């Protein structure tokens, strides 16, 4: 069994393929954390619960017979506030008496096959109860009458587990949740490095690594989205860990709003890792009988380096996060008009794109921003989701029929969470945007944010979207989100609930996306937020791919895609060939193939030679689709660590084929390149397609390839395709 409970020793032992997680029910029903790391068969670990010597400055519970115990020096599983643990705590609830002393103790548990859904929130799922096992531990605060349910689900064969928390008010008085983290893990030492993904617009998810110091450190967002600036992913890795060796603990929050990842290194050399909703600005009123569900954290452990941690995340998300038809169905190769035309287009101009795109082998035309209301620039009309038939020259139904007759599927752009100040909707309902009475409304990109905490607002917007999607054969929807939340107040909520706005808004977004999934099960949704400003697993639950970045420069894309791949699989990363002049079309395509491939340009501008190049690229997209979308990724040369080159490869699950890609960012000082491949079967023979040379997997991995003579100019690249010789 992947989850065991030793009744005599009061020990919980959770096992994945790669790791073990162990807890103990201690005296007075304290729930203590004992171990998280490489898989071990036994649980004789009680000696690990202490992280130092008891001293008078570490308060103790006088009812505990073990005189060495104090919440301040033990590894606590889910520590509360103001009851003896001075480190950053996992939960704080202010009761009706006005104090926030919080102390949850073990009450009961149950173990069962499968995995529960989370009310109102995205989460990993199983289609067969045999794919996962779940432990629910109920803990109570006997003084306040509050109850928490800690939920642990083990994906045994994938080397991963998830955690979430539900807080219930079983008392007869209201309480206020001031903080609730989904995950808390105490480590006996802080001798690790921290890897996070930082960035900005056009430069998202760049990996940053630093030693963990004493004190508090971490990352988070207060923008109302997961943001361009930090991602809800972090890895704690052993100081010498690299792609292939060392320990790596990965944490990823399935959430799309304000998050916090925190590390608190204590006085005894240990550290506490927490992940969940950012407590800054968060406050939730919990009435008697109500429950609050916190989002889910995904935890992955690898003792085979950072690369294997990433591959576990990729396998897990491809199977248990991405849902619906497009989890397994081949995604269409699309062309989007935005970079070619912005909002300056007509129906006939788009049809001209479609005719050429069909000749070249593309499969879908996406009409981006500018098709609705009085939308001729970004100053106006968001919220007025009515087709501008004068601009299209027809109804949407008629226009889409023409696109379909050419032989392409059709996609459309929405920004459903936003409202323009200059719009019919704002003039009719100025209170429908987020705002605080008496304060000027901050403007960004000439727009405000709709108050998605309100059911009437959500129903109105969804009604408009449903009408558009129902009146034409729309196969794809690009969902955009182009500003962050400010003046986060609601005209529909009482004063005591204004601290709930950020969370209620993202729940509203999830609700509408869920309705789209149910009402239009064949619709392919791609998320976008100024590019990659909301690239998180919460969004991936509703849309199988996300526009990785508005930056389509292939050289700039390297660090973005390398960083993104620390957690997210290639199939989730929207990547297009654009008209960017920095490199040739070969390198543009070689980089964009690492993702859901497409084009972002005017196909009418292609020369005859360029048309043939694009046709060849499209053929390669189909040829390499499976190995890229379903294979294992190996990062060979990291552009953040090598100033000259980047290289990566995909290997099919059965190790019968591999695709290697290398890009020269700038001319290297040396001509030679010996590239050792990874992930192959050392016993198999592989033929490199272009040269016809045959190598053993062992030779390719241990001796490597001598790539002397490959392109060395700035922006050049090459691919090598290997197929098993049978």
Catalytic residues: 480, 550
Q: Enumerate long-range contacts of 516-522, CB under 8 Å, 24 or more apart.
A: 516/465, 516/469, 516/477, 516/542, 517/323, 517/324, 517/542, 519/466, 520/469, 521/324, 521/325, 522/325, 522/475
Say if residues 484 and 258 touch (Cβ distance below 8 Å). Answer: no
Instruction: Give 274's strand partners.
Output: 184, 262
DSSP count for the chain of H helices, then E strands? 14, 38
Close Cβ partners of 475 (under 8 Å, ≥ 6 residues apart):
332, 364, 409, 410, 411, 522, 523, 524
Hey, how many other C-beta atoms are within 10 angstroms of the C-beta on 322?
A: 21
Close Cβ partners of 369 (under 8 Å, ≥ 6 residues apart):
338, 342, 343, 375, 378, 413, 415, 480
Nearest CA among 356, 381, 322, 372 for reference residue 608: 356
The Cα 686–Cα 726 span in angstroms is 9
Q: How far is CA 536 from the centre of its chain?
A: 2
The Cα 332–Cα 352 span in angstroms is 19
CA 297-303-304 angle, 5° bins: 110
Q: Sheet harboring 657-664: ordered strands across?
A: 632-637, 645-651, 657-664, 717-724, 685-688, 694-696
DSSP element (H, E) containing 608: helix 608-630
| SS3 track for 385-414 | CCECHHHHCCCHHHHHHHHHHHCCEEEEEE
The Cα 64–Cα 178 span in angstroms is 29
Nearest CA among 484, 485, 486, 482 for reference residue 530: 482
Say if residues 507 and 229 touch (Cβ distance below 8 Å). Answer: no
Close Cβ partners of 529 (under 8 Å, ≥ 6 residues apart):
225, 228, 480, 481, 482, 535
17, two tokens? 């393929």
Say if residues 461 and 416 touch (Cβ distance below 8 Å). Answer: yes
Q: Among the residues of 321-423, which ranges form H helices?
A: 325-328, 338-341, 347-360, 389-392, 396-406
529, two tokens? 């937020």
249, two tokens? 């603990």
């Amino acid at each position: 069994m992947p989850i065991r409970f030793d009744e005599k020793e009061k020990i919980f032992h959770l096992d994945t393929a790669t790791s073990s997680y162990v807890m103990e029910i201690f005296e007075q029903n304290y729930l203590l954390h004992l171990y998280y790391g490489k898989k071990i068969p036994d649980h004789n670990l009680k000696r690990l619960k202490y992280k130092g010597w008891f001293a008078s400055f570490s308060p103790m519970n006088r009812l505990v017979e073990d005189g060495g115990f104090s919440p301040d020096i033990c590894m606590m599983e889910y520590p509360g506030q103001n009851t003896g643990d001075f480190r950053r705590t996992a939960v704080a609830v202010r009761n009706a008496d006005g104090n926030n002393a919080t102390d949850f103790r073990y009450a009961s548990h149950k173990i069962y096959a499968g995995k529960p859904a989370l009310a109102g929130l995205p989460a990993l799922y199983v289609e067969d109860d045999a794919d996962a096992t779940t432990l629910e531990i109920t803990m109570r605060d006997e003084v306040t009458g509050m109850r928490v349910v800690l939920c642990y689900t083990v994906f045994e064969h994938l080397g991963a587990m998830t955690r979430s928390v539900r807080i219930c008010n079983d008392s007869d008085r209201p309480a206020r949740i001031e903080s609730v983290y989904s995950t808390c893990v105490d480590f006996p030492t802080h001798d690790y490095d921290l890897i996070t993904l930082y960035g900005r617009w056009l430069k998202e998810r760049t990996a940053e690594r630093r030693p963990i110091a004493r004190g508090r450190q971490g990352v988070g967002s207060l923008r109302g989205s997961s943001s361009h600036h930090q991602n809800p992913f972090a890895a704690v890795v052993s100081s010498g860990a690299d792609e292939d060796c060392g320990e790596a603990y990965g944490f990823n929050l399935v959430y799309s709003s304000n998050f916090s990842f925190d590390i608190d290194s204590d006085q005894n050399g240990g550290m506490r890792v927490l992940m969940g909703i950012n407590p800054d600005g968060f406050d939730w009123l919990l009435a008697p009988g109500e429950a609050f569900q916190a989002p889910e954290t995904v935890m992955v452990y690898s003792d085979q380096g950072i690369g294997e941690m990433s591959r576990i995340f990729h396998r897990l998300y491809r199977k248990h996060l991405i849902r619906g038809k497009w989890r397994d169905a081949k995604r269409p190769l699309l062309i989007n008009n935005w970079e070619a035309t912005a909002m300056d287009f007509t129906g006939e101009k788009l049809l001209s794109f479609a005719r050429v795109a069909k000749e070249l082998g593309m499969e879908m035309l996406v009409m981006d921003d500018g098709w609705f209301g009085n939308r001729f620039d970004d100053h106006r009309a968001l919220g007025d989701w009515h087709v501008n038939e004068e601009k299209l020259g027809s109804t949407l139904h008629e226009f889409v029929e023409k696109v379909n007759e050419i032989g392409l599927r059709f996609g459309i752009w929405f920004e459903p969470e936003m409202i323009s100040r200059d719009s019919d909707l704002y003039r009719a309902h100025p209170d429908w945007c987020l705002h605080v009475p008496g304060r000027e409304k901050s403007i960004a990109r000439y727009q405000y944010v709709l108050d998605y905490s309100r059911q009437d607002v959500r129903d109105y917007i969804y009604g408009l979207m449903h009408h558009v999607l129902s009146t034409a054969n729309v196969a794809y929807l690009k969902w955009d989100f182009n500003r962050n939340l400010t003046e986060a107040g609601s005209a529909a909520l009482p004063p005591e609930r204004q601290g709930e706005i950020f969370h209620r808004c993202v729940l509203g977004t999830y609700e509408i996306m869920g309705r789209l999934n149910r009402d239009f099960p064949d619709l392919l949704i791609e998320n976008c937020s100024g590019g990659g400003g909301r690239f998180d697993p919460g969004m991936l639950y509703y849309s199988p791919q996300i526009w990785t970045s508005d930056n389509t420069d292939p050289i700039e894309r390297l660090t973005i895609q390398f960083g993104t791949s620390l957690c997210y699989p290639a199939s989730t990363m929207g990547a297009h060939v654009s008209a960017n002049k920095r490199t040739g079309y070969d390198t543009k395509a070689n980089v964009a193939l690492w993702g859901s491939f497409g084009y972002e340009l005017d196909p009418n501008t292609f020369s005859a030679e360029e048309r043939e190049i694009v046709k060849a690229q499209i053929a390669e997209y189909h040829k390499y689709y499976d190995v890229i979308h379903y294979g294992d990724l190996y990062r060979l040369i990291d552009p953040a660590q090598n100033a000259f080159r980047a290289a990566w490869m995909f290997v099919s699950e059965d190790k019968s084929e591999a695709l290697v890609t290398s890009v020269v960012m700038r001319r290297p000082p040396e001509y030679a390149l010996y590239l050792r491949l990874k992930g192959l079967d050392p016993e198999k023979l592989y033929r490199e397609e272009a040269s016809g040379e045959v190598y053993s997997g062992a030779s390719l991995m241990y001796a490597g390839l001598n790539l002397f003579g490959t392109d060395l100019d700035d922006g050049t690249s090459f691919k090598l395709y290997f197929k098993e010789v049978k």
